[in-house]
């Protein structure tokens, strides 16, 4: 029984030490990443207030999964998502005949996730560090701080001394105050997440492909007809514009010839 107890205690001790070591590794990694993030993130200057914006372009392993993780981190830190757009960009496409009945279509695509969100200004550094840990390649980082000290001071004075101001102006001042406070309290971050291009393969029945080509041919013929009509109209317009000049030149030529003939007869 003592041997079993000692064995269990040894395992618990090893596991606890392993977890403690993992926590230390994570803490060291976070501290290293924090040191690498620019001091432009969340600047602190006595008597100054700033509106912070950030833009990050990164290559990630999975734009959908990593994008959702970044969004969730912002929400858990009292932030919110403004926009989110997932797109598949087709880079190339090829078709290979497998048999008389089927065709293999290979499409090279690159997925991209565009996200715009807001986080509390005091959580900006923490959020950027979290996001950078999701990146495989960091393409571009932009941190922009706009000073709003004067605007806030001026608007606070207007709000403090607005008893003699019209109601409409008082409302405008309060709206401006809310906008300024929102800009100071929340930082806006735009993400452009993209994956390395990969090939998607699909097998299509030959009949469907033929139908597609027929539809596509009809569309191209229709476009060719419309283009022909357009260029014919364009030709007529140009011809009408040049017609007075052409008639004037012809009239001048025939007039000179007529005068030359009359002089010869004399």
**Within this chain, do residues 222 and 149 fall inside the same structural domain, yes or no?**
no
**Within this chain, do residues 248 and 142 fall inside the same structural domain, yes or no?**
no
Q: Which has the minimum average pLDDT: 42-51, 57-66, 215-224?
A: 215-224
**Within this chain, do residues 69 and 165 fall inside the same structural domain, yes or no?**
yes
20 domain-assigned: no
The residue from 196, 227, 247 where one domain ends is 196
Look at residue 24 in the predicted model and tell me its pLDDT. Answer: 47
**Within this chain, do residues 191 and 266 fall inside the same structural domain, yes or no?**
no
Rounded Cα distance between 58 and 194, Å, is: 6
Q: Is 78 in contact with 187 (CB distance < 8 Å)?
A: no
Question: Scanning the structure block, which residue is given the tokens 């806006």?
Answer: 188
CA dihedral 121, 126, 127, 133 (to 10 degrees): 160
Mean pLDDT, range 89-100, rounded to an integer: 76
Q: Which of 137, 112, 93, 87 is nearest to 195 (CA)?
A: 112
Look at residue 210 in the predicted model and tell me its pLDDT. Answer: 58
2 domain-assigned: no
Look at residue 89 in the predicted model and tell me its pLDDT. Answer: 87
Domain count, the chain: 2
Q: Which has the minimum average pLDDT: 14-23, 166-175, 225-234?
A: 14-23
**Within this chain, do residues 69 and 192 fall inside the same structural domain, yes or no?**
yes
Identify the residue with better confidence: 215 or 141.
141
Identify the residue with better confidence: 253 or 215.
253
Q: Is 105 in contact with 95 (CB distance < 8 Å)?
A: yes
Look at residue 225 in the predicted model and tell me its pLDDT. Answer: 81
Q: Cα 12 to the chain's mean position, in Å?
A: 49
**Within this chain, do residues 65 and 95 fall inside the same structural domain, yes or no?**
yes
pLDDT above 90 for 79: yes
186 domain-assigned: yes
User: Model confidence over 13-58: pLDDT tens digits?
Assistant: 544 545 444 444 433 444 455 556 767 776 777 778 888 889 999 9
**Within this chain, do residues 56 and 180 fall inside the same structural domain, yes or no?**
yes
244 domain-assigned: yes
Q: Name the average pLDDT for the chain.
A: 78
pLDDT above 90 for 95: no
Two structure tokens written together for 45: 């200057």
Q: Which residues pair with 192 in a beta bridge?
A: 57, 114
**Within this chain, do residues 172 and 70 fall inside the same structural domain, yes or no?**
yes
234 domain-assigned: yes
Q: Which has the minimum average pLDDT: 76-90, 121-135, 151-165, 205-219?
A: 205-219
**Within this chain, do residues 104 and 222 fall inside the same structural domain, yes or no?**
no
Q: Is 143 in contact with 51 (CB distance < 8 Å)?
A: no
User: Model confidence over 134-169: pLDDT tens digits?
Assistant: 999 999 988 888 887 777 777 777 777 666 667 777
**Within this chain, do residues 242 and 111 fall inside the same structural domain, yes or no?**
no
Q: Cα 212 to the chain's mean position, in Å?
A: 32
219 domain-assigned: yes
Rounded Cα distance between 129 and 30, Å, is: 7
Look at residue 173 in the predicted model and tell me its pLDDT. Answer: 76
145 domain-assigned: yes
Identify the residue with better confidence: 222 or 88.
88
Question: Scanning the structure block, which residue is given the tokens 């990694």?
Answer: 29
Helix (H) or strand (E) holding 197: none
Distances (CA, A) of 125 to 58, 131, 184, 257: 17, 10, 15, 89
Q: Residue 233's domain spans which residues?
A: 205-266
Two structure tokens written together for 250: 């012809």
The residue from 171, 196, 221 where one domain ends is 196
**Within this chain, do residues 46 and 126 fall inside the same structural domain, yes or no?**
yes
Q: Which has the minimum average pLDDT: 7-21, 63-77, 189-203?
A: 7-21
30 domain-assigned: no
**Within this chain, do residues 158 and 86 fall inside the same structural domain, yes or no?**
yes
The residue from 196, 213, 243 where one domain ends is 196
Mean pLDDT, range 80-91, rounded to an integer: 90
Q: Where does the pLDDT of residue 207 fall: very low under 50, low under 70, confident under 90, or very high at 90 and above?
A: low
């Amino acid at each position: 029984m003592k041997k079993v107890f000692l064995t269990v205690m040894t395992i618990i001790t090893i596991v606890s030490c392993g977890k403690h070591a993992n926590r230390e590794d994570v803490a060291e990694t976070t501290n290293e990443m924090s040191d690498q993030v620019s001091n432009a993130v969340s600047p602190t200057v006595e008597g100054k207030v700033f509106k912070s914006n950030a833009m990050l372009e990164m290559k990630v392993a999975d734009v959908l999964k990593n994008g959702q993780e970044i969004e969730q981190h912002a929400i858990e830190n009292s932030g919110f998502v403004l926009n989110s757009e997932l797109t598949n960009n087709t880079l190339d496409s090829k078709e290979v005949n497998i048999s008389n009945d089927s065709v293999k279509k290979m499409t090279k695509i690159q997925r991209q996730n565009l996200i715009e969100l807001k986080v509390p200004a005091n959580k900006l550094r923490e959020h950027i560090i979290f996001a950078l840990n999701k990146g495989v390649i960091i393409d571009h980082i932009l941190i922009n701080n706009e000073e709003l000290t004067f605007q806030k001071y001026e608007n606070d004075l207007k709000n403090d001394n607005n008893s003699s101001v019209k109601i409409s102006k008082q409302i405008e001042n309060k709206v401006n105050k809310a906008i300024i406070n929102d800009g100071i309290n929340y930082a806006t971050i735009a993400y452009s997440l993209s994956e390395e291009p990969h090939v998607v393969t699909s097998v299509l029945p030959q009949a469907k492909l033929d139908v597609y080509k027929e539809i596509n041919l009809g569309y191209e013929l229709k476009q060719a007809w419309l283009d022909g009509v357009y260029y014919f109209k364009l030709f007529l317009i140009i011809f009408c514009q040049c017609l007075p000049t052409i008639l004037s030149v012809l009239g001048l030529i025939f007039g000179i010839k007529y005068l030359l003939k009359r002089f010869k007869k004399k």
